[in-house]
Structures are given as C-alpha cells and as structure tokens.
Amino acid sequence: MLFVWRGSVLPDIAPQLLWTTAFAVLVTVLHGQVFHWKVPLNFVPFSLIGLTLAIFLGFRNSTSYSRYWEARTLWGALLNETRSLVRQALTLTDAPAEATVMTTRLIAFVHALRHQLRGSDPAADLARLLPPEDCARLQAARFKPAVLLLMVGEWLRDQRRQGRLDPMLAQAMEVPLGRLTEALGGCERIASTPIPFTYAVIIHRTIYLYCVLLPFGMVDAIGAMTPVVVAFIAYTFFALEALGAEIEEPFGTEPNDLALDAMSRTIEATLREMMGEPQPPRQDTPPDAYIQT
C-alpha cells in the first residue's frame, strides 16, 4: 500500500506537496529568518489550529462520504427494483414473453441514468438496446431516464388493457416502479447540489496558510528534521482535502468515484439472465486493477 499510485490522491497533490517541502527546506536553511528578521513562532499556535483544522476536515470528509454512500445505496436500489419488476413481469403476467420489451427499457434506463449523471451521450447504448421508434422518442427528451420509466409504465398499462395483467397486480408492480423514480430523483439531487463552495474555500486557504507557516514554528525545536515533518503533515492535510473534494461528486470518472460502468453492466447482465437471454460480453480487467470505472 505504500507504493500504490493508481487510486491515490498523491498525483493530484504532488505539486503543492513538493512546493511546501521545498519552502520548508528554505526556512530551515535560513533558520526561520526573513530579510534578517527572525519570525517569532513556536509550535503552540499550530497545535491549537491543527486540532481545529482536523475537526473541520473530518466533518468535510464525513459529509462527502455521506453523499458517496447515499449514491451507492441509490444504485443498489436500482439493482433490486429492476430485478423485482422483471420477476413480477415474468410470473404475474399471462404473456411473460412480452416482458422483453419492459426489460430492455429498464436496462436502457440504467444506462441513460449513468450517462445523464456523467454528462455523456447515451445515443450508442440506446441504439443498442431499443428499437428505432423508441430512440426517436427519446432523442428530443431532456431527461431520458424519466421518459424511459414513463415508457415502462406505459407497458404496464398496455398489459392491463389487453387483459394480460390483473389491475391489482398492476398496482403492485407500480411499487418498485415508484421506487425507481425515487432513486432517479435522489441521484439527480446529489448531482445538482454540491457542498457549498465557500466551505471548501475556507478549508483550502486555512490548510495552505497552516503549511506555509508551519516550518517557522518548528525549526527552532527540531532543526534539520523540519522539512520531513512538514512534508508529512502537509501530505495528511492536502490528501484529506483532495479526498473530500473527489468523493463529494460520486458520479464522476475519477478513480475513487462510483463504478457506474461496472454497475450498469451488472444490472444488464442480471436482467438478461432472468429473461434467459445471452449475457453481454464480460470485460476482463487485470488482477491489479482493483479500481473500476
């Protein structure tokens, strides 16, 4: 773990960490003097400020992780509710062969949601999964996942009107469909409501001022070891700040964001397996690639 590079925030913080360490070396060589003026600092104020800063960083990371874990819970709900809908379509309707239409729309919904959250184009996945008339309907839609859920609801309506689905059973199938709508809204809420920017700015500025002034307060006490200790403390604070900033937006494509690609493929695979359809091709990953996209 000491030498792990991929998935670590070290590549992101390496420039400021090197700059801070170099500045600490300069302060150590000059023995805390700036233009022949000795900066009168010791470790006492840094102990007080460091404790407060650690508390605020902990709160920031807890808030970021709460967003990350809520997003993961919502995507777990997508897996559960889509499985429930397909199972009910296969066991409760009088024409289970017709469930293929609903299943493909649910798979398309999952992929469309992934693309919407990441701001990418879903055209290729939609064309792969849906017939041309459905793709044409979705082309002009701004919120494609919501329209796909509407199309699933229309399938339930058609089955009920054709007498293939009892009205009471159709109402039961509306329950997991409603939960999919709730999961969609929850993901949109997380994606559109970041942590207030001013909070991040305050922590960012405080960390940098703390790390810049830290060597002046330590050079008299530990001498030549000042750059080493400053580098260690700066790495801790810089890394915690970078980690909080990375996971607060869990739907991105950075190494520690949610593996939406892998989860989308998993949902597609399990729904196709329930339908008895061929599995999508598996994407092999090297054994050391423990971080998925």
CA atoms within 13 A on the CB side of 56: 17
Q: Provide the residue ranges of all domains of the chain, joining segments of one domain with +.
A: 12-31+40-275
Residue 287 has pLDDT above 70, yes or no: no
| Alpha-carbon span 92 to 88, nearest angstrom | 5
| Alpha-carbon span 133 to 124, nearest angstrom | 15
Task: Indicate the pLDDT class of residue 185, thresholds 50, 70 and 90.
Answer: very high
| 188, two tokens | 């949109």
| 17, two tokens | 């960490």
Of residues 290 and 114, the one with the higher pLDDT is 114
Which pLDDT belongs to residue 290? Answer: 47
Which pLDDT belongs to residue 175? Answer: 95
Could you tell me how far CA 68 lies from the centroid of its own chain?
Answer: 6
Most confident option among 6-10, 92-96, 103-107: 103-107
Strands (E), the chain: 33-34, 37-38
Residues in the chain: 293
Tell me the pLDDT tens digit for each residue of 46-91: 888 888 888 888 888 899 999 999 999 999 999 999 999 999 999 9
| Alpha-carbon span 249 to 70, nearest angstrom | 11
Task: Indicate the pLDDT class of residue 154, thresholds 50, 70 and 90.
Answer: very high
Of residues 271 and 287, the one with the higher pLDDT is 271
Tell me the pLDDT tens digit for each residue of 214-266: 988 888 888 889 999 999 999 999 999 998 888 899 999 888 889 999 999 99
| Alpha-carbon span 261 to 273, nearest angstrom | 18
Residue 183 has pLDDT above 70, yes or no: yes
Task: Answer whether 240's CB lies under 8 Å from 271's CB.
Answer: no
Query: b/e for 270-292, b at 16 or more Cβ within 10 A?
Result: bbbebbeeeeeeeeeeeeeeeee
Q: Mean pLDDT over residues 144-161, rounded? A: 95
